[in-house]
């Protein structure tokens, strides 16, 4: 009988011991991979003209790590990580030409004063973002024979999409994300963990992921636009080439720019809708980078001889 009771007690102890020792990680709103490899079905590559997008360096409005009180000196650059993560996510789509701008103060100043011609950003749209909330907290649960420690990182971001041509905010969204890790011990045995710095990046990535879909949708729904560089002997040279997705035999519409007037209601300058004057077809492309590439086109219909190149733009 004593042997039977001892066996039952030993089994109960093992069950209790195995149930108390835990160690796990969890992240909310983070892209997760799967171990199941589905059958790959080849689909035709969707044609897309790449928009030029500038990403300004995020600002950090959160107070986490900024205070030197009680010796706290956190060197973690949350704003840099947010910028890099957003840039990486947009790059993976292969639908944009990305230009990073660190000088956010200069851009905002120029936007406020509407000196848009001198901005020299070289992009159609500007993404401006900020980290509005960011922080860490630790939770612990101590029992008679067990102890559990939970580390949590939380981030909230705000992004705005600005039309460089007009200086207007055409899209804005906020998103948040959280990441946590758990570790536990029972009877002094289990996993002991220190400060997990990877949770910061995971929380910011989760927050960026929650807004990136809306940003992509708005960017891709906007018309692709370029400009006429010159027009001679029936050939029209436009900015943009193969790296922006332009191919031989592609056709584009050429518009005469509308008049720019000041809206008395908002005090901002707006450009009236342009007038279609011609259709052109790509004959060949040239250049090696997005900064020096272009396309040579011929006129399919219409006439642009009486217009100056600076008064025209190309759109599709």
The kind and range of the H/E element at 79 are: helix 78-92
Give the pLDDT score at 7: 53
- Select the more confidently predicted residue: 60 or 290: 60
Q: Give the pLDDT mean for 93-109.
A: 68
Q: What is the pLDDT of residues 118-153, one digit of tens each?
A: 344 568 898 999 999 998 888 877 765 667 888 999
Question: Between helices 198-221 and 78-92, what is the axis angle to 10°?
Answer: 50
Classify strands 96-101 and 51-56 as parallel, antiparallel or unpaired.
parallel
Average pLDDT score over residue span 208-215:
94
Q: With a cut of 80, say whether residue 91 has pLDDT above it.
A: yes
According to the model, what pLDDT value does residue 33 have? Answer: 39
Structural tokens at position 66: 């900024």
Report the 10 Å Cβ neighbour count for 204. 27
Instruction: Output the pLDDT for position 177.
Output: 95
Predicted local distance difference test score (pLDDT) of residue 4: 52
Distance CA(261)–CA(5), nearest Å, equals 93
Q: Select the more confidently predicted residue: 206 or 15.
A: 206
Tens of pLDDT, residue by residue over 256-298, are 999 888 878 877 777 888 999 999 999 999 998 887 899 999 9
CA 140-145-151 angle, to 5 degrees, is 20
pLDDT digits (tens, 9 = 90+) for 242-253: 989 999 999 999
User: How far apart are the C-alpha atoms of 297 and 288, rounded to whole Å?
Assistant: 18
pLDDT beyond 70 at 41: no
**Regarding predicted confidence, which is higher, 191 or 48?**
48
| Beta strand extents in 39-91 (DSSP E only) | 51-56, 59-60
Please tell me the predicted confidence (pLDDT) of residue 121: 53
Task: Please state, for a pLDDT cut of 90, what percent of the chain lies above it.
Answer: 37
| pLDDT greater than 60 at residue 27 | no
Phi/psi of residue 217, each to 5°? Answer: -60, -45
All structural domains of the chain: 21-26+48-221 (3.40.50.10610), 225-315 (2.40.10.410)
């Amino acid at each position: 009988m004593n042997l039977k009771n001892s066996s039952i007690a030993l089994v109960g102890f093992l069950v209790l011991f195995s149930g108390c020792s835990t160690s796990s990680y969890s992240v909310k709103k983070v892209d997760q991979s799967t171990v199941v490899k589905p059958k790959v079905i080849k689909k035709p590559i969707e044609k897309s003209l790449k928009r030029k997008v500038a990403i300004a360096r995020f600002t950090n409005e959160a107070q986490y790590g900024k205070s030197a009180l009680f010796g706290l000196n956190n060197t973690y650059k949350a704003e840099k990580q947010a910028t890099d993560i957003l840039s990486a996510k947009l790059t993976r789509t292969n639908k944009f030409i990305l230009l990073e701008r660190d000088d956010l103060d200069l851009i905002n100043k120029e936007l406020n004063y509407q000196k848009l011609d001198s901005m020299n950003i070289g992009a159609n749209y500007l993404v401006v973002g900020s980290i509005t909330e960011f922080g860490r907290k630790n939770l612990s649960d101590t029992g008679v024979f067990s102890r559990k420690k939970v580390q949590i990182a939380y981030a909230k971001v705000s992004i705005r999409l600005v039309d460089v041509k007009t200086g207007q905010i055409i899209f804005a969204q906020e998103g948040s994300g959280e990441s946590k890790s758990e570790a536990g011990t029972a009877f002094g045995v289990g996993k002991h963990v220190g400060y997990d710095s990877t949770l910061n990046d995971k929380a910011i990535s989760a927050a960026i992921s929650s807004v990136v879909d809306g940003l992509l949708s708005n960017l891709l729904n906007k018309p692709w636009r370029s400009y006429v560089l010159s027009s001679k002997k029936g050939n029209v040279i436009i900015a943009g080439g193969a790296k922006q997705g332009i191919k031989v035999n592609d056709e584009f519409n050429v518009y005469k720019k509308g008049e720019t007037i000041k809206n008395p209601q908002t005090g901002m300058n707006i450009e009236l809708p342009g007038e279609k004057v011609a259709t052109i077809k790509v004959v060949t492309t040239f250049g090696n980078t997005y900064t020096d590439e272009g396309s040579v086109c011929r006129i399919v219909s219409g006439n642009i001889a009486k217009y100056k190149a600076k008064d025209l733009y190309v759109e599709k």
